[in-house]
Amino acid sequence: MSGVIVHEWIDSTGGSEKVLDAMFEAFPDANIHCLWNDAPGRFPESRVTETWLSRTPLRRWKAVALLFMPGTWRRLRSQASYNWMLVSSHLFAHHAQFPGNGKGMRKLVYVHTPARYIWVPELDSRGANPVARILSPLLRFLDKRRAQDPACEFAANSKFVQERIAATWQRPSRVIYPPVDVTSIQSVPCWRDKLTKDELEIFDALPARFVLGASRFIPYKKLDMVIKAGNEAGVPVVIAGAGPEEQALRTLAAESRVDVFFVIRPSTQLLYALYQKASAFIFPPVEDFGIMPVEAMAAGLPVIANAEGGASESVRDGETGYLIENISVTGIANAITEISRIDRNRVREGAVAFSRERFLREVQDWVNEGPKATEFTHSH
């Protein structure tokens, strides 16, 4: 049985790309189709097919490209004939069709989320873009209709997203948690030993005690709350990542009475070393799942996270960290003062259920089992 993997677009970083990596590991003979590829070299070039959008400036202007994506996905071309397609979708990749492939093709859609831009713009500021806002009613109608395709079987990356699939598309889905590199994180007792000379200089300049916030520097990740909570708790803060909000975060840090350190674009080994050294990982956003909290837990780092969203499925309140209802700076600050009560060995154990090996097994079983009905919960 031959298959194809379909992914929105390939970036050099991002949680959905880690899922794509694992899908390709699970099915190394599969070709990959995407709108465009911004990470050449990540996969063998001969295996990746891009669409016409890759040859236009629209690849840099996603809000306008939105208008062209649904139609583009309906006209994928391939020389090969496939029995199944495995789709990694957070926008419209689940609309994918190979018109020349016949009707018997199974479509297995792994849903990171139904498009946040159009379904939950309050959780994603990109949905406030004027173009996205004007197009949203039409795109919601089209998206829901395409999701009714009887060939589609859905898997959600969390129960939180499973409920969103039921609410937006009225379709059943199973839950397959995304892959996290738990085994490799736990295979190195001291990630500091793996750092380069330049990285050691950065790492050793950090205070003995600090709380960590790490993600892309964009508004919905709420890294400003990490800085404010560290300030309120009187604990230094390290902010790791990169993005357009950097200057705003640095301005906020300059006003803080505690030291705030920025580690820009940390390597994997430096990020893992930060997990091992920090006192707590703070994760305020409403995230569909949240891979970084599980990475932190794999390194033994307790997590303080938003009780709303997917992080509540990986963090056990009072055991592997704290979940904050109606998240606030004061709520996070109070949790920081309690974090030393958490047993770091128990935190490590809590991450094992989300391993890469478990994801590979579950996604292979899903593809190989053949079509079958799935149960789902529908929140009213």
- For residues 41 and 81, state if they share a domain: yes
d(CA 246, CA 24): 33
- For residues 220 and 310, state if they share a domain: yes
d(CA 335, CA 25): 39
Task: Name which of 262, 252, 257, 264 is nearest 225 in CA terms.
Answer: 252
- Residue 132 belongs to a domain with what CATH number? 3.40.50
On whether the pTM is more than 0.85, the answer is: yes
d(CA 47, CA 51): 14
- For residues 203 and 340, state if they share a domain: yes
- For residues 174 and 202, state if they share a domain: no
- For residues 286 and 320, state if they share a domain: yes
- For residues 347 and 299, state if they share a domain: yes
- Residue 334 belongs to a domain with what CATH number? 3.40.50.2000
pLDDT in tens, the chain (380 residues): 689 999 999 998 778 899 999 999 999 999 999 999 999 999 999 999 999 999 999 999 887 888 899 999 999 988 888 999 999 999 999 999 998 776 778 999 999 999 988 888 776 665 567 766 788 888 899 999 999 999 999 999 999 999 999 999 999 999 999 999 999 999 999 999 999 999 999 999 999 999 999 999 999 899 999 999 999 999 999 999 999 999 999 999 999 999 999 999 999 999 999 999 999 999 999 999 999 999 999 999 999 999 999 999 999 999 999 999 999 999 999 999 999 999 999 999 999 999 999 999 999 999 998 765 444 443 33
Question: Domain for residue 55, yes or no?
Answer: yes
Task: Name which of 39, 336, 312 is nearest 158 in CA terms.
Answer: 312
- For residues 117 and 196, state if they share a domain: no
Question: Domain for residue 9, yes or no?
Answer: yes
- For residues 166 and 28, state if they share a domain: yes
Question: Domain for residue 376, yes or no?
Answer: no
Question: Domain for residue 68, yes or no?
Answer: yes
Question: Domain for residue 137, yes or no?
Answer: yes
Containing structural domain, residue 245: 182-354
- For residues 156 and 118, state if they share a domain: yes
Question: Domain for residue 42, yes or no?
Answer: yes
d(CA 325, CA 328): 8
Q: Which residues contact 288 (CB under 8 A, 6 or more apart)?
A: 112, 113, 116, 157, 158, 160, 161, 309, 310
- For residues 190 and 330, state if they share a domain: yes
Pairing of strands 174-175, 106-111: unpaired
Task: Name which of 168, 182, 169 is nearest 123 in CA terms.
Answer: 168
- For residues 144 and 189, state if they share a domain: no
Instruction: Give how many domains the chain has, as a whole number.
Output: 2
Question: Domain for residue 374, yes or no?
Answer: no
**Angstrom distances, CA of residue 318 to CA of 51, 57, 324:** 48, 49, 11
- For residues 233 and 141, state if they share a domain: no
d(CA 316, CA 37): 37
Question: Domain for residue 47, yes or no?
Answer: yes
